[in-house]
Structure 1
Amino acid sequence: MIDPQISEWISQIARWIHVITAIAWIGSSFYFIHLDLSLKKREGLPEGVGGEAWQVHGGGFYNMRKYLVAPPELPKELTWFKWESYATWISGFFLLVWVYYLQADLYTINPEILPMAPWQASAISIGALAVSWLVYDGLCRSPLGKNDVALGVMLFAYILLAAYGFTHVFNGRAAFLHTGAMIATWMSASVFLVIIPNQKKVVASLLAGEAPNPALGKQAKQRSTHNNYLTLPVLFLMLSNHYPLAWSSKYAVGIIGLIVIAGAVVRHFFNSQHAGKGSPWWTWGVAAACVAIAIWLSIIGKPGIANMAEAPKDATPATMAAAFDEAVLAIQSRCSMCHAAEPVWEGIPVAPKGVHLDTPEAIAQHASAIRIQSVLTHAMPPNNITEMTLDERKAVATWLAQRDTVTR
């Protein structure tokens, strides 16, 4: 059994590594898409060069050229961009195991959706990620892959179908996270199994004195473009575990679809600018509309009970005090085993996010967070593992409603 304090440090360091490697991968991906789209043809370029771009950075000038297939001779030094992708996926999968497999009872399994053992949830997760890659890769290699628009529509539909499936197996938090992990798996596996191998085949052809197959570059370019358009939605899905209004909504699948569209059109705006094709400002309107609709769906689809408790018009100090006492009793009974100066829940060394709910004063201080986590949504307790009843949630909602009448 790992000491909870060591466990906490392992979790933080793993997240730190994951963020660092993700920044490196996303940065290089965005840069090369920008470079590829900004290349310009001119007279006098060497044979096989599709275009060049001049750039300035760090006090120096750079002349970048792209060979459509490969240069006539392999240069002595060649930089490969792959470890950023591999390290991001490996660190991300470690976190998936550390949080969603080893603590499946808290973060993955919802007995009301599908009762299962932690090992079963882990097996389903791994199997779903593997199968999703086979489906994605198969679609890209199929005749459908020759039409980028048709392929994009099919992949979008598959993302929604997979998200729907995840919401009927895992809790909302894990469903969002696994949808993001699925797309991230496509992205990294494309680098590992398609982009880098294709580049190595090109290198082998050059070393053998043969002309490389141009189809290899086109295939790699398609996967790289997918990665570019999917990056922003993946980031949203990975960060969503901190924000239950999105993943707890009964319209969670629709919210995922809207975020995918919003992220893709934002990337389209920048890609169009980089390619010198103008600035399609309409994309920002589409993105804003998608986000606005997603917010609306999260509000109307929340599972909370806020509207079931209203403050009486003749509320008195006595009734308000009684409502607060009842709410304190419910919160201390169901939440303070983790949210306390010295948590007693196994594996939790310190109160999550430093939030203490073991005294009336602390509970009053965190009223806004309690409203989001336990009234507007049922995110806390996680998976309702302490069995907080609806009556207890109503008691908390009643206290908050009366509190609002005083602060207005």
Structure 2
Amino acid sequence: PKPISATILLSHTHWDHIQGFPFFAPLFVPGNQITVCGPEGSGHSLREVLSGQMEFTYFPVEIGQLPATITFRELGEGAHEIGDARIVAQYLHHPAMTLGYRVEADGAAVVYLCDHEPFSETLWHDHPAFSHAESIVHEGDRRHARFMAGAGLVIHDAQYTPEEYLSKKNWGHSTYEYAVGLAAVAGVRQLALTHHDPTHDDAFVEAIEKRAHGYAEQLGYALRVCCAYEGLELAVEPNSVRQLASTPLAPHPGRNALRGNHILVVDDDPDLRTLVHKALSQDGHIVSEASTGQEALALIDAQVPDLLVLDLLMPKQGGLEVLKVLRFRPATAALPVLVLTALDDEANTRAGFDLGATDYLTKPFSIPQLAARVRACLSRREPVETSRTPTLDLR
């Protein structure tokens, strides 16, 4: 056969997404050139992870023995030019570093979003207007919807029903209602629901598809929606879709750029501080601690960290007050702030984002979730000044 040049886009390296790699037939054809892309910032390089599952204990052919020429490319958020296509990558909400991909070419856009979990249990404002993204409570979910904007096809995680999700929270997956609702806001033409739960048989998946159709009709949206299956073919017609706005070319900082940062953890719970400190230190970061808002502001006044992990509920000066002070100061106006909270209601979420929170992480959370959200916040940071500035007295 004629040699091919191809690019594989891996969302992440959990086993259910990479176990087919050793059996990918083009890897065994001499002359083929295969570029494997995946998210940067994980504990091991992309080559190390894929080589590990092909070690002789698990597979008879090591990756270095494959006849094809294989190149590995680790991607961050932003736009990447691959061949004649523009590939926009964006971090998803999953316990591992995970990228969603928007492929723009020939006037069409296809978006792949798997695995992903809602950022907030409260998705809509009290009176949702499904015609625009501002009806969504959490900025992370709004950003997710904007990433789909105008796409001819979105392939989206929908592993759980709304009833199942209640006991699967923090596992990193979505419901069909979440996927359909955001696709409606984004003006998506076709939606393919995927990542079906292994416990769902064909009849169950068919029932999910019917419920998804019904939910789309309830929203008043003529969405073509189906549950994906092996062998499914869908046509994506050019519809003069615009390139995703405000998406610069992705930087190439190297795989260690998201390690070794100074992170300040602020929480009045000593056990939680210890847990977060240990987890982030193991990820290669320099971690400082503060038990009160006043102590945190004093430490920041002396040295601005690269990221602030901030508890919302603390005695005396709470997280929202600290956030207000930081956004008032020019030196910390762009400081990334990851808010930790046990409150997932609309009022508190809106208040935090209105004051400039970068992201929210709801307690209880897993260590992989924390690590992934920290990396995502660091990857989006802007340069911050380190000079001392006057404080704002909120008394």
Q: Which TM-score band (shorter chain)?
A: under 0.3
- TM-score, structure 2 normalization: 0.24
Q: Give 1 or 2 for the bigger CA radius of gyration.
A: 1
Kindly indicate which of the two structures has a greater share of residues assigned to helix.
1
Instruction: Choose between structure 1 and 2 for higher RCO, CA contacts under 8 A separated by at least 6 residues.
Output: 1
Kindly indicate which of the two structures has a greater share of residues assigned to strand.
2
